[in-house]
Amino acid sequence: MRDIALSGLWLPLRLYLQPKAFRAEVSALAPDLPADYRLWQARHKWREPAFRRGLGRLLLQSAVALLWCPPVVLVVLGVFGALGYDVNWALAAVGVAGGVAGGVAGGVALGVALGVALGVAWGVAWGVAGGVAWGVAWGVAWGVAWGVAGGMAEGVAWGVAGVLTATHAVNLLLQYVISLASWLLVRLFPRLGPALWRLSPVRWDEVILLPLPGLAGLLTALYRNSPALGRVALAEVAAHRYQRRAAYRALARLADEDANVVTSLPALASFEGGLEWLSEEVPLPDALRNRLLRMRDVGREVDGALNSDSATNCVRRLAAAADILESLRLQPGEFGAALARWSGIIAAGLEEARRQQRVEEPIPQVYISDGRPLNPTDRPESKLPFKGRRALFRQLEAALGGAEGQRATVLLYGQRRTGKTSVLLHLPRRLGSQMVPAFLDLQSPNLGGAKDVVGLLGGLADKVVDEAHRHRGIGLPALGRKVLTDDPYPALDRWLDQVERALGERTLLLCLDEFEVLERAIRDGRLDTRILSTLRNVVQHRRRIAVLFSGSHWIAELPPYWASALITTTMLPISFLEETDTRELIETPVDDFPAIYTPAAVDCIVQVTHCQPYLVQLTCAQLVGCLNAAHRMPPDSFVTAEDVDTVIPEVLERGQGYFSDLWHNQAGGDVARRVLETLACAPGGQVDRVTIRSVERDESALRQAVETLRRREIIERTDDCYRVTVPLVAEYVRRQVLV
């Protein structure tokens, strides 16, 4: 009983200062029920002794809590007395007695009633509050309305008590004094930070409407002296309904302090370590979070540059850091002085890296060996190793650039790393100004990684708006997540109506790269087939919207509902480069590239890669690296056919991702892999149709495997024989067999 009495006397203060914590405690009585469960929802819990004891304890605490009525009444009457009013204390005593009696009965009854209607936590809270208010109202009404000179009405008492209580204004002076004193003390004695944090008003009062002075400074000092405790404090303040801005200011101050002490590239590379508090658990405004993440990216690029294995890679990483930094400086926001200093540090480092590159790597490493798409926005086309595809661009321009009613829906089909994405990224410069291209990478987390249709459609709309503004300077309407949540597909349809009106005479081209991701989302249950019906509706009925799909699957390789959705689609294959384009890519990948190859070496590269663009770039990159490492320079030394043979093991190693994906995913199954093994290991590298039949007894399975391999251009038929199309792929398969 002693514990119930003490906790009951403490209950009004808990309800007043920490209502969220109280509701969490009540919710814990029945964790399997909703947080603010009602009594009728918990009727099955009455059979549990622990639940009955917990609820009974709450009711007893509520009754004890109503003993606060007399002192509260006396305090309020004392305030009026101090203001010069005459108080009839005898009548006030009668009012207090009546108020306590009414408060106990009314408060407990109100708590039970509201517990049935609103929820146990709200019922107890409002029951106690109502009971105390009942006692205060009666006591003050008798003592003030009848005993205070001037005839103050009962409503005034209610109003004064209500305003002081609801706003916690009565606490404000004390809280300001504590907060200011803590801020001053922590500046003088940093070691006192943990103790001062325990006393901070933000820890014991959940309703502090006005900003607490010095709280951001206390959080900053606390983190500097005790990072673990500082992270906890930052998260706690960031979760406070009214004081979270102090956490934002403290985090921004921490980042700004770290950014301003950077004076060298190594220090800039270490900047990320100072942002270890930047996690999803710490809520931040989106603008500040994105700015800090981009600053962290700058630090990571610099760290990659300092630890790179080549001067060329060092230059690339520093140039990437400079680009990120430039985009940051063009946007309004914090850290302006620090970013200006960073810009100078990176510029000096980039100049030194380029000087070192000229010494260590006299032959420029311009080939793209990591499979990244070749984006013309990254550098001028004269400096981009992108060749050929002229016939494909003509086909795309004819299919997509026709008049209304003559425009086709296109599926750009080709195996991985054949240049599909690079082609899409070049479309904005190839198509006329009346075409507004929007490149939508469905593999990105915001699109294909979305957890449901609302996330996908919202991310798609955001990207379309961004792409239209970036490529053509057109402002398209946004699509809010709220309207999508209510009913996603009709909301998208209404948004597309607005988009078409905003386009005027222009046409929006939706380039859906890696469209097969939608099928995975359908299989996972994150989407349903209505997304395909929506795409079909766009294709057939939208006058100002065209669609281009890009992927590595034919429609026939997907479930049947895809064929129905994309019935009017035109297939455009993207395959190996033309031999003339391949030779140009090898010998003059960019303007002013030195002549480093013998004719025999060029022939050898063409032969072993079969003009596969990624393998051409990878092989040439390895050859340039070998020449630079051996300090071989024309006219004293050129790349020979023997050099090409020498780098093949390195090409197979560096291209492991490409070859492994082809072997495990693109080949099509065990039967297809056995066919590949047979072809790769055969004398002369080819096998006739009779020998192929010995691979698998099931003729249907064998026929399907061979057809898949041919359609994906992994093998080819010559006369009456089959062979692996790309010699480098055959070499990889042979090594797989030997392992």
The number of beta carbons lying within 10 Å of the beta carbon of residue 121 is 24
Interval 594-635: pLDDT, tens: 999 999 999 999 999 999 999 999 999 999 988 988 888 888
Give backbone dihedrals phi and psi of 128, rounded to 5 degrees, phi first.
Answer: -65, -45
- End-to-end CA gap in the chain: 77
Contact partners, residue 528, CB within 8 Å, separation at least 6: 453, 522
Q: Angle of helix 19-27 relative to helix 2-17, nearest 10 degrees?
A: 130
User: What pLDDT score does 45 carry?
Assistant: 60
pTM over 0.95: no
Q: How far apart (Å, rounded) are the C-alpha atoms in residues 629 and 611? A: 26
User: What pLDDT score does 407 carry?
Assistant: 67
The number of beta carbons lying within 10 Å of the beta carbon of residue 23 is 19
Amino acid identity of residue 273, one-letter, is G
Continuous segment of H or E residues that includes residue 459: helix 453-472
SS (H, E, C) 104-117: HHHHHHHHHHHHHH
CA 557 to chain centre: 31
pLDDT under 70 in the chain at which residues? 1-48, 50-172, 204, 206, 276-283, 401-407, 738-739
Name the DSSP class of 544. Answer: T
User: What pLDDT score does 55 carry?
Assistant: 61
Q: How far apart (Å, rounded) are the C-alpha atoms in residues 136 and 100? A: 8
Q: How far apart (Å, rounded) are the C-alpha atoms in residues 504 and 558? A: 36
Question: Residue 234 in contact with residue 219, Cβ under 8 Å?
Answer: yes
User: What pLDDT score does 519 carry?
Assistant: 86
CA distances from 606 to 185, 585, 651, 726 (A): 74, 10, 14, 10
- Show contacts of 529-532: CB within 8 Å, 24+ apart: 529/561, 529/565, 530/453, 530/489, 531/453, 531/456, 532/561, 532/562, 532/564, 532/565, 532/566
DSSP per-residue codes, 230-275:
HHHHHHHHHTSTTTHHHHHHHHHHHHHHHHHT--SHHHHHTGGGGG
User: What pLDDT score does 116 carry?
Assistant: 44
CA distances from 67 to 3, 79, 157 (A): 16, 20, 19
User: What pLDDT score does 738 carry?
Assistant: 67
Token reading at 634: 């024309």
The number of beta carbons lying within 10 Å of the beta carbon of residue 508 is 25
Indicate the length of the chain as a whole number. 739
Interval 343-387: pLDDT, tens: 999 999 999 988 888 787 788 888 988 888 888 877 777 888 889
Assign 441 to helix, strand or coil. strand
Q: How far apart (Å, rounded) are the C-alpha atoms in residues 514 and 414? A: 11
User: What pLDDT score does 583 carry?
Assistant: 95
